[in-house]
């Protein structure tokens, strides 16, 4: 809102007053541009520290605090509580899932260890059975070879005995023939086979 100077001040002739129309206004006169008297800006305390406004300031403080309290109680706190409940529920579910997975893993490990122990026992049993079977087979083959060798040795001994007997028989015959030939060459006559056989037999006994 602007304040204007009185009309008579503007219509007064300059000559009557003896001053210029654009001269500076008198002390205490209001400026037409701002409507604020000179020196008014420097008067009065800072508004927040003005004791005349304490009541209104306290009222607005109470109203603001009440609105903020209601906002916290009705909007912000329930949302924060819901978020915390959701996170707590999710963490609980994750912990239960982790426990279930750990139990399944432990059961799988126990099953694997049991199967591994059974497989090791089975392999040891199979190895022992295979070793026993191989030893039994080797022993049986050894006995069969020994029996076969024994039979061959017996047959060879019999054959050798036959050959020796035949050789001894042939030796007697050969000796008799040789003796008869020697006597024929030495004395120029024949000797009875019985005498020659008796002489060869006597020589064998002496030898």
Contact 73, 67 (CB under 8 A): no
Q: Which candidate, 15, 34, 1, places its Cα nearest to that of 25? A: 34
Which residue intervals of the chain are DSSP H helices?
Answer: 7-11, 14-17, 54-71, 77-187, 193-206
Question: CB within 8 A of 38, min separation 6: which ones?
Answer: 27, 28, 31
pTM of the entire structure?
0.35
The structural domains of the chain, with segments of one domain joined by +, span 161-204
Convert the pLDDT of each residue in 38-63 to its tens digit: 444 446 677 777 777 888 888 999 99
Question: CB within 8 A of 47, min separation 6: which ones?
Answer: 53
Say what percent of the chain tops pLDDT 90.
Answer: 32
The residue assigned the tokens 């040891």 is: 124
Contact 196, 176 (CB under 8 A): yes
pLDDT, mean of residues 127-148? 90
Residue-level pLDDT at 11: 42
pLDDT, mean of residues 76-99? 92
Contact 179, 196 (CB under 8 A): yes
Question: CB within 8 A of 190, min separation 6: which ones?
Answer: 180, 183, 184
Convert the pLDDT of each residue in 154-206 to its tens digit: 888 888 888 877 777 766 677 667 766 776 666 665 666 666 667 666 666 66
- pLDDT for residue 26 is more than 60: no
| Higher pLDDT among residues 206 and 69, named by residue | 69
């Amino acid at each position: 809102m602007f304040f204007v100077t009185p009309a008579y001040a503007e219509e007064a002739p300059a000559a009557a007053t003896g001053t210029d129309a654009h001269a500076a206004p008198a002390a205490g006169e209001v400026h037409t541009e701002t409507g604020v008297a000179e020196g008014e800006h420097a008067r009065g305390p800072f508004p927040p520290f003005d004791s005349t406004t304490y009541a209104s300031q306290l009222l607005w403080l109470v109203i603001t605090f009440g609105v903020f309290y209601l906002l916290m109680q009705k909007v912000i706190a329930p949302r924060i509580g819901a978020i915390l409940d959701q996170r707590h529920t999710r963490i609980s579910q994750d912990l239960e899932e982790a426990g279930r997975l750990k139990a399944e893993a432990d059961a799988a490990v126990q099953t694997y260890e049991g199967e591994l122990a059974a497989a090791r026992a089975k392999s040891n049993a199979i190895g022992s059975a295979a070793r026993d079977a191989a030893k039994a087979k080797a022993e049986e083959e050894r006995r069969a070879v020994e029996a076969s060798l024994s039979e061959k040795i017996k047959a060879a001994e019999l054959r050798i005995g036959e050959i020796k007997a035949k050789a001894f028989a042939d030796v007697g015959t050969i000796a008799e023939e040789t003796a008869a030939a020697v006597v024929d060459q030495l004395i120029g006559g024949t000797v009875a086979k019985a005498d020659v056989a008796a002489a060869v037999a006597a020589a064998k006994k002496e030898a």
